[in-house]
A and B are shown apart, each in its own frame.
Chain A
């Protein structure tokens, strides 16, 4: 069965510091990978997605993620965090034979120190 692991439940970084949120997946088929962000009281907003091609994908708000098949990882990065980035981040995976049904990781809550 497919699974997604986000090893870090909480992360605190200083404003202006770099950020990396980890995501590992276990999936039998070719994965399609997503990162979503959930701000307090809000729904989920798509940050970026990987379907095929270049393994480094750019998203909104200055985020990027790199797909590493050999490590079954899809880590999210940002070079300089802003206070408005404080939110919960979810990694998710689906595949060609799973329709669009997403399997989510448990989420990482990001706090930003001034």
Chain B
């Protein structure tokens, strides 16, 4: 089983609909992240959480919200989806060692299409 699991893997939704992407991890990491990937832009950080009570906006948080339901679960919501939110979304986790020198582990991604 994957250490970082994202559901769904693919989703097509209509403009204006609310949608939630879910992420769960079995690595026991405190830190979790949501990124989106667009062609030519790499991955950009949407939100991150360093523990259950800590939620922070990333580079491109407008139009998104998150919930950290437990150490192992971090969900991303689009309250009212719009076509330019069509992208590949990745959840990631990392250990908290008080510094940046730990690697991030990524889920398989969720391909979201907003029509």
A67 at the interface (CB under 8 A from B): no
A106 to B33, Cβ gap below 8 A? no
Residues of A with C-beta under 8 A to B108 = 42-43
Please tell me which stretch of A11-19, A68-76, A77-85, A96-104 contacts chain B, meaning at least 4 of its Cβ atoms lie within 8 angstroms of it: A96-104
Residues of B with C-beta under 8 A to A98 = 100
Please tell me which stretch of B37-45, B60-68, B71-79 contacts chain A, meaning at least 4 of its Cβ atoms lie within 8 angstroms of it: B37-45
Q: Mark B88-107, 1 if CB is under 8 A from A, else 0.
A: 00101010000111111011
A99 to B40, Cβ gap below 8 A? no
The count of residues in chain B whose C-beta lies closer than 8 Å to any C-beta of chain A is 26
Q: Is the interface of A mostly helix, strand, loop or mixed?
A: mixed
Classify chain A's interface size. Answer: 20 to 34
Binding site for A on B (CB under 8 A): 4, 31, 33, 35, 40-45, 48, 50, 58, 90, 92, 94, 99-104, 106-109
Residues of A with C-beta under 8 A to B31 = 99-100
Tell whether A102 pairs with B43 under 8 Å between CB atoms, given A42-B108, A43-B90, A44-B106: yes
- B101 nearest CB neighbor, chain A only: A51
Q: Mark A43-79, 1 if CB is under 8 A from B, else 0.
A: 1111001011000000000000000000000000000
